[in-house]
Amino acid sequence: MFFTYLRRELRRRRKAALVVASGLALGIALVIVVNSVSSGMGQAQDKVLESLYGLGTDMTVTQAADPEQEGQARGPRFRFDAQDDGSDEEQSSDRVMVQGFQTLAGSTVTQVGSQDGVAHAVGGLSLQVIKVSGQFTRGQFQQGGGRPSAPQGEGRVQGGGADFGVDTYSVFGTDVTEPELGPLTSSKITSGRTFTSSETDAEVAVADASYAQENELAVGDTVTVKDVTYEVIGIATPESGDAAANLYVPLKQAQTLSDSAGQVTTVYVKATDSQQIDAVKSAIQKNVPGTTVTTSADLAGTVSGSLSTASDLATSVGRWLSVVVLAAAFLVAGLLTSSAVSRRVREFGTLKALGWRSGRVTRQVVGEAVVNGLVGGVLGIALGLAGAYAVTAVSPTLRAELGGTGGETAVPGGGFGGGPGRQAASRTLDVALTAPVSVTTIALAVGLAVTGGLVAGAFGGWRASRLRPADALRRVA
């Protein structure tokens, strides 16, 4: 009897039911879209952070470089030998420098790895290579300097000079025995292979895809750094943002190139439990003095640009707007249901006169409202999925600016970046925004649909329970 009457009443009042369901659907759809966009913001930020120091890294340990005292700052020096044979052969010289941070002893990696809550710790060495190459051209002596009346033996040298170019690129020394941590994990090997655990001191390199394309490098080619020839065994394409470095070489090779035997610039740490990251950070700071520990949460605070702005809007304005619209939808649904009950005074009064108790009438009204809520939930989920799909299809590009400005390096492992003019303290990445819809979001939508129906039913049921048979008799013509 309950379902028969329910079906008949919903069919008879299709328009009113559709209005209530549509109001709930809009509120639920907005909640789905906002939650999905917020989730996409979180994923975009995770990609940005992973591009800095690699997948799976919970924190990094570094030591800030000592500021150079006034008068001691010196630029790189290059020296070229004079050619006595009169040839104009090209000459080149590489200056390999540690960049970003002061070096740490290799024992620091072991010390960090022994702390409670640390699952893995691996060291890396960030280098910058400045290559100057070119040639000297011998000038030609001209008798008389071009003047016919000049005395014998008088003249001048014309032509000649020097033509040198400067190329800057980054090299990162990675511990090949621990491939699960470090900046290289944020890139995918798209050609060739990555390092093997046996290549701890091998003269092999993995090149970033953009750098390889710019320099026409392919697997099997060679690159020379400071008179050491490395075979390119793989091409790595970053999965988001810029690559951490232009070239990756085994850690021992990087230490040899920079005369930094047994030294690292960054220790990459993975915690045993993500809930213990703060405790692990405190332990490292206490037991490994003089170091700076930076977690992904700390690094997230340095993210600015349109990604940060959009994230703030989605978190504050978007969610508050969802709450307001949803509350308004619930209120309107309740008022419409209550108004519908007032128009059914004769019907409910007659039913009570026939023996229906107030509880039965109330259950009937609540049942109709819950069905309206479920219909609104279905419509809302459909609209929400369509909105989330539209955001993903458009994939608006957001810009993330990481680190600060000025001379202080704020990004762990920062300064990996690529070519001339790149500042170690700041990086800019472009990230495509998506709006993934999770099962949790769908479950939330269903819960909101049922809640909306119950709220509307509560309004109408309260009104229906107060009706008396006499009210119906007074309305009979």
Length of the chain: 477
- Specify the range with the lowest mean pLDDT, choosing from 19-23, 41-45, 448-452: 41-45
CA distance 22 to 77: 73
pLDDT at position 405: 35
Q: Which residues pair with 170 in a beta bridge?
A: 128
pLDDT at position 28: 86
CA distance 248 to 140: 45
Binned at pLDDT 50, 70 and 90, residue 429 comes out as low
- pTM, two decimals, is 0.58
* 202 to 91, 175, 223, 251, 255: CA distances (angstroms): 26, 12, 14, 10, 13
Most confident region among 15-19, 167-171, 421-425 by mean pLDDT:
167-171
Instruction: Characterize 198-226 residue by residue with b for buried, 16 or more Cβ atoms within 10 angstroms of its Cβ, and e for exposed.
Output: ebeebebbbbbbbbbeeeebeeeeebebe
Query: Is the pLDDT at 403 greater than 90, yes or no?
Result: no
How large is the average pLDDT for residues 132-140?
A: 66
CA distance 409 to 340: 66
Binned at pLDDT 50, 70 and 90, residue 326 comes out as confident
Percent of the chain with pLDDT over 90: 16
Query: Is the pLDDT at 228 greater than 70, yes or no?
Result: yes
Query: What letter represents residue 269's amino acid?
Result: V
CA distance 60 to 100: 13
How large is the average pLDDT for residues 80-109?
A: 72
Reduced to 3 states (helix: H, G, I; strand: E, B; else coil), residue 116 is coil
Binned at pLDDT 50, 70 and 90, residue 397 comes out as confident
More confident residue, 407 or 52: 52
More confident residue, 155 or 437: 437
CA distance 311 to 38: 7
pLDDT at position 70: 39
pLDDT at position 232: 95
